[in-house]
A and B are shown apart, each in its own frame.
Chain A
Amino acid sequence: MSVFDDLVGQDTVIEQLRSATRAADDLLAGGAGAGMTHAWLFTGPPGSGRSEAARAFAAALQCPDGGCGHCPSCHQVLTGTHADVLYVRPSGLSFGVDKTRDLVLRAASSPTGGRFRVVLFEDADRATEAASNALLKAVEEPAPRTVWLLCTPTAEDLLVTIRSRCRLVTLRTPTTDAVVDALVRRDGVDPGVAAEAARAAAGDVERARRLATDPATRDRREEVLSIPARLDGLGACVSAAARLYELAEADAKESTSALDEREKADMKAAFGEGSTGKGVAKAVRGAAGALKDLEEQQKRRATRIKRDAYDLALMDLAAFYRDVLAVQMGATVQLSTANRRADLERVAASSTPESTLRRIDAIMECRRRIGANVHPQIAMEAMTAALYLG
């Protein structure tokens, strides 16, 4: 067993990280440590497991046994409580310069466990320009034992000056087979359901798991995919946009509320809730400050999860039109929306490949507009109208 076991379909990356871990051990033992460096950039498409890979690498660096996966150190890194691993998860849409300065300061301190001080920065692309500059300074002149692990979707999402100081770890989109295998082996999903979910998620492991294990998510996706066939007039466009917006909101709410409740319960338990006897009420009141911080963070995260949910719904739509295009061109690729064959055929027959491309462009434009703070429902109305007109 090893910390790298949970990475789906990333054999090359695992080999790269394993050899870096060996080099790191060599470095600690006083050797040259060739193959180890102080800054790493994990890139890969959404759902390919960037932060999981970075976390596994962090565990391997802290583990005296190269990431055995069962020692206390590995366990602490994987649950997020290790003293020498600093987790940075931008909860909001952006990560500001003040927080970055604070981070740089804490990153510079020496490790307490005698190995490495690891900073795991998920979604480093959310750092603002000023924050990136503050970060650059730390990545340029790192403390002797500090290791930066940055995660972004593509290498282009970071300042070129930061990028040039990082060693690149490129995760690839896992194959459908690898995703199916992971779902069956790890989550005990029925192979048929797993195959369908894996195809639908197009390489996003996390999304595939949700589709495979949560029927509500599956239903919402089906409803999104039924939209193109229903667009038969401007009235339908407006109501389809409204429905699309509702679906995305519902999706976001579901993922947020479960997470929020669990975090709050954990925090309250840490302050003694659920215990009995005199003094419990007073001790639990002590959690108020910590809970307030947590709630603020959750609020920021909720905004972000909503954005992600709109994006997911739009990408499902885009996948539909991509399949339409494939049908129109007679390509024999795997269709991620194969179960809507009738709709695909109908839309394909009633339009030209040029108009399909225009429709995909309209979806991308809608994503861009939402990113620029246009109200999602308005942006979606403009999009469905464009989809209707073709």
Chain B
Amino acid sequence: MKFRVERDVLADAVAWTARTLPVRPSVPVLAGMLLDAGEHDGRQRLRLSSFDYEVSAQVAVDIDVEEPGTTLVSGRLLAEITRNLPPQTVEISTDGAKVVVSCGSAKFTLLTLPVEDYPTLPAMPEMTGTVGSDVFAAAVSQVAVAAGRDDTLPMLTGVRIEIEGDKVTLASTDRYRLAVRELTWKPQDPELSAVALVPAKTLADTAKSLTSGAEVSIALSAAESGEGMIGFSGGGRRTTTRLLEGDFPKYRALLPDSFNSVAEVQKAEFVEAVKRVSLVAERNTPLRLAFADGRLVLEAGTGDEAQAVEVLEAGLEGDDIQIAFNSAFLLDGLNAIDSDIARLQFTTSTKPAIITGKPADDGGASDYRYLIMPVRLSG
């Protein structure tokens, strides 16, 4: 194998592929990165792949191939090397059981790993549609924040993707909060209806990393074929991941549709105030909010301990309300909305509240909703 490639192109591709390398590989070859230089899709390309049995990543870049070939080298080492190369053309060639990377005056020799031992990457499922990469990344990050991190409840560590024609709904919950985002996309089949449960962390990382292309293609394998995989591709990069099994809670029933009071607060001020006041909130003690007379009073800390109070301006329609939240969950919700003004909708102090951004036109509904369970106050 022998080829030449520009340093920036190579470093980008290697860094992206290296993200999927397992930190503690169960078998040594998984720490390797597969380099495959040759004719792919009618062009001279270098394909870099990594795989940890759950997630696979592959990127293809255009190069000048002098001699096609496939080799496996330590992925972290290659990433470390390419990051530090001078900005010139890099030449990579195999020499027996070694790979030589040379760039300007720098020269590296890497030992190869047994390429025949490397597991076959899963095939990409059939493409089902496309969505704008920025929109998708933003939507996923808004939702993934509410996903659970507890591995004993695996179905809650995922983001549920529901596809109904040209509408996609993303949802995740950890039982204390629930985030739902709706967006439109371009399905291949306008009648398409599908659901998938994708590991939240993987989905968030993937969506973020695919913003280099304008659009992301989503490929979901049909349930009856028994291959529980979802694939994403865009800008020459593709990743696949195994879907999670298990029943996702029926979350739509949890979203209340009528409210007794609706408050509007400037988001930036609100976030700052929550951060300050919650400094005195010990672990698991709630942050108390009181809405009345165009004001919002934030309080934390009780009795003999340190206390904090801050007052903000707030618009309120409907009944006055006093309610308490876990401050971290409240901050997650406020940070996730994409508007300068946060709208909070309440029924009573013991029922879940909904946080949304204030829509640009007053009548419209927000496409992102963050449901948060209040903390019951004693006495």
- Report A's interface with B, CB cutoff 8 A: 72-73, 75-76, 79-83, 105, 108-114, 143-145, 266-267, 269-280, 282-284, 286-287, 289-290, 293
Contacts and interface: CB of A to CB of B under 8 A. Distances in A.
B243 A110 contact: yes
Given A112-B227, A275-B108, A276-B108, A73 B77 contact: no
Nearest to A115: B226
A47 to B, nearest CB: 25
B81 A114 contact: no
A289 B76 CA distance: 14
B245 A277 contact: no
B322 to A, nearest CB: 42
Contacts of B31: 267, 270-271, 287, 290
B136 interface: no
B195 to A, nearest CB: 15
B352 to A, nearest CB: 30
A110 B80 contact: no
B120 A76 contact: yes
Contact of A111 (B24, B81, B117, B226): B226
B117 A272 contact: no
Interface in B69-108: 73-74, 76-77, 79-81, 83-84, 101, 106-108
A290 B29 CA distance: 13
A110 B77 contact: no
A267 B22 CA distance: 13
Interface of B: 23-25, 27-32, 51, 53, 56, 73-74, 76-77, 79-81, 83-84, 101, 106-111, 113-114, 116-120, 122-123, 154, 225-229, 240, 242-243, 245
Nearest to B54: A109
Given A81-B118, A274-B111, A145 B28 contact: no
Contacts of A145: 226
B76 A271 contact: yes
A284 B30 CA distance: 15
Contacts of B76: 271-272, 283, 286
Contacts of A266: 28
A247 B79 CA distance: 48
A111 B56 CA distance: 14
B119 to A, nearest CB: 4
Interface centre among A83, A108, A143 (most CB of B within 10 A): A83
A293 B31 CA distance: 15
Given A269-B113, A270-B74, A283-B77, A110 B228 contact: yes
Which of A145, A275, A290 has the most chain B CB atoms inside 10 A of its CB?
A275
A83 B122 contact: yes
A109 B246 CA distance: 10
Given A80-B27, A111-B226, A272 B74 contact: yes
Given A83-B119, A272-B111, A277-B81, 19 more contacts: A73-B120, A76-B117, A79-B117, A81-B118, A109-B243, A111-B226, A112-B122, A113-B120, A114-B123, A145-B226, A266-B28, A269-B28, A269-B74, A270-B30, A270-B113, A277-B101, A279-B77, A283-B80, A293-B24
Contacts of A289: 23-24
